Chain A
Amino acid sequence: MGLFDDHGGGRSEQKGKGRPFAFFRAGLGGSQALQNRPILVLEDVTKFHKPDQPTLRCVNLTVERGEFVFITGPSGAGKSTLLQLIYRKQMVDDGRILFSGRDIARLTSDSVPYLRRNLGIVFQDFKVIPHWTVFENVAIALEILSMPRRLVRSRVSEALERVGLAGRGEDVTGNLSGGEQQRVAVARAIVTEPALLLADEPTGNLDPHLALDILTLFEEIHATGTTVLFATHDHTLLEERPHRIVYIDDGNVKEARKGLTDWSSTRASSQEASDARASNVVSLRAR
């Protein structure tokens, strides 16, 4: 499977239009040069919401392919803004964001959908359509790619199975519990097998037990090769898992902990990770 492989009808839809972002799947594939390139680079990114009071100031951040990164910080620190800049809900005021080497800020509004097709996004408020069935909520991501109906069915079933909702496709989403609705949102985000998964406080509306379940789900997805940016202000989650932590406070970004890119090996050396976690949490709290 090549790095720039298309999903279903996505290619035919864009024949001759010159897409700014080829549609590529999570995991391996493509040329070695592309594989070696960081999936996301933020260079001196500044974003103002009020004049003279930047939400983000000169942020520099590099995310390697296959990494799991926690983005944390107090409420209003700019976590969501950072993610919104990546999926181009907002535009940077200064600096640039390179996604697979291409500057997001330079995209025309017509090209933004093609950027988003390479991303999976999960929100705190789930953003599922309550009166649609679970199947419809997940399938919409594939319908957008003009994927044949038969393929949509099999891919949605696969995604629902991965999030633990196998056989629930016909359920009305609004009737599900909060945790289940968030699983539907995760299934929708991963069904296209995106290269980068953005999670904006996905556990914010869930109780601690469900929050941990959802985090585990993200880790399982990460284990298949998907890069994950997980924004949360919940320190208990950070303490639980030994991933890289990027801390945002007052618009500045600090590396709070270097992550281990391979989650499975991390689990194997859990004792080591536990030690590292303890020391990192101490330094986080000290801030």
Chain B
Amino acid sequence: MELKSAFTRAARGMREEARLHFVAISSLTIAFLCLGATLVVMTNLGHVADRWGRTARMTIFLRDGAAGEDVAQLRMALEGVPEVLSVDHVTASEAREQFLEDSAIGAELATLPADAFPASLEVQLREGAVDHSQRIAERVSGFSIVDDVETYRGWFSQLEELLELGRTASLVIALLVLFSVLFVVGNTIRLAVAGRKGEIEVMKLCGASDAFVRGPFIVEGAVQGLLSSVLSIGILLTAFLLLRGHLDATLAALAGVHTTFMHPLFVLVVLCLGTALGALGSAASLRRYLVV
């Protein structure tokens, strides 16, 4: 009954102060949008890092005109190494085709000559063999047909650094969002309370407990937080679906992964965070109005 009463009174309060709540929800939506966007970026950077970190592969670029026999010999030698899972020979024309397919850039690069890309051996290492990649690379470099060996370790380290930076940034943004939500919800509820001071006084004089008075305001704060987080997720998802095509082409070409929206768990976290922060901001701002 008390919960029902709190919801009924909250609904009435929100109807009466519709404009105030609209402004608050708009401000909160922007705050949650910042948090959501950061989480999407982090999710995708995480995927890239995960792919490159987990797959542990290396590319052995061959010199132009490397003899087929020498290539086969190198391939056999590599297959004999216990840490190597598989070796694929990618010819110059195959490399070109693969690039065009991955990048989906189309006509501009279609005129490139067949030998624009070097032939290579794509080496897939066994899981857990990442640490051995440098040693294998050093040994392979001794072969005369090998032009260069890419272990992606340097690139991966940079990506890891970038990811760490992103994690810190998202933490800072999350804290900013937290404070802005508390601030916006607190001020909105304070304004709503100021407008309903008479109601609070009457309720307290009739013997209402603090919980009874606080109930509808906490519901209002929670609804504000929930609505704004739902809105921000909705806007972000729409934007993601609209931009996905463009993003996919670029990211697939650069990192070999497709863009994804934030993990469903993160969506749930944002929704819960929004609701909880709204309720908390509201409860904190009410304290001094309850003394009658």
Contacts and interface: CB of A to CB of B under 8 A. Distances in A.
A129 B1 contact: no
Nearest to A127: B202
A147 B203 CA distance: 15
Contacts of A140: 202-203, 206
A144 B199 contact: no
A146 B212 CA distance: 10
Given A144-B212, A148-B1, A127 B207 contact: no
B286 to A, nearest CB: 15
A144 B208 CA distance: 5
A144 B16 contact: no
Nearest to A9: B1
A87 interface: yes
A116 interface: yes
A238 interface: no
Interface in B67-113: none
B142 interface: no
B2 interface: yes
Interface string A211-228: 000000000000000000
B1 A144 contact: no
Interface in B194-243: 198-199, 201-210, 212
A257 interface: no
A113 to B, nearest CB: 5
Interface string A130-158: 01000000001101111111000000000
A146 B207 contact: no
A96 interface: no
B84 to A, nearest CB: 70
Interface string A181-225: 000000010001000000000000000000000000000000000
A82 interface: no
B205 A146 contact: no
B141 interface: no
Interface residues of A, number: 28
B176 to A, nearest CB: 36
B207 A144 contact: yes
A172 to B, nearest CB: 13
A57 interface: no
Contacts of B265: none
Contacts of B203: 140, 144
A102 B282 CA distance: 35
A149 B1 CA distance: 9
User: B interface, how many residues as a size bin?
Assistant: 10 to 19
Nearest to B206: A141
A89 interface: yes
Q: In terms of DSSP, what is the predominant structure of the interface of chain B?
A: helix
Given A9-B1, A143-B5, A146-B2, A129 B199 contact: yes
A121 interface: yes
B292 interface: yes
Contacts of A127: 198, 201-202, 205
Contacts of A145: 207
B198 A129 contact: yes
Contact of B207 (A116, A128, A147): A116
B1 A89 contact: no
A145 B212 CA distance: 10
Residue from B5, B204, B205 whose CB has the most chain A CB atoms within 10 Å: B205
A145 B1 CA distance: 10
Nearest to A87: B205
A65 B2 CA distance: 32
B207 A117 contact: yes
Interface-centre pick from B2, B204, B207, B212 (highest chain A CB count, 10 A): B207
A114 interface: yes
Identify the interface centre among A9, A119, A127, A144: most chain B CB within 10 Å of its CB. Answer: A144
A17 to B, nearest CB: 11
Nearest to B201: A127
A30 to B, nearest CB: 20
B204 to A, nearest CB: 8
Contacts of B198: 127, 129
A115 B206 CA distance: 10
Contacts of A149: 1
Contacts of B206: 116-117, 121, 140-141, 144, 188, 192
A52 interface: no
A68 to B, nearest CB: 22
Interface string A97-117: 000000000000010011111
A87 B209 CA distance: 14
A216 B201 CA distance: 27
Contacts of B201: 127
A141 B207 CA distance: 8
A118 B206 CA distance: 9
Interface in B153-202: 198-199, 201-202
8 contacts: A13-B2, A89-B292, A117-B207, A121-B206, A141-B206, A144-B203, A144-B209, A148-B1
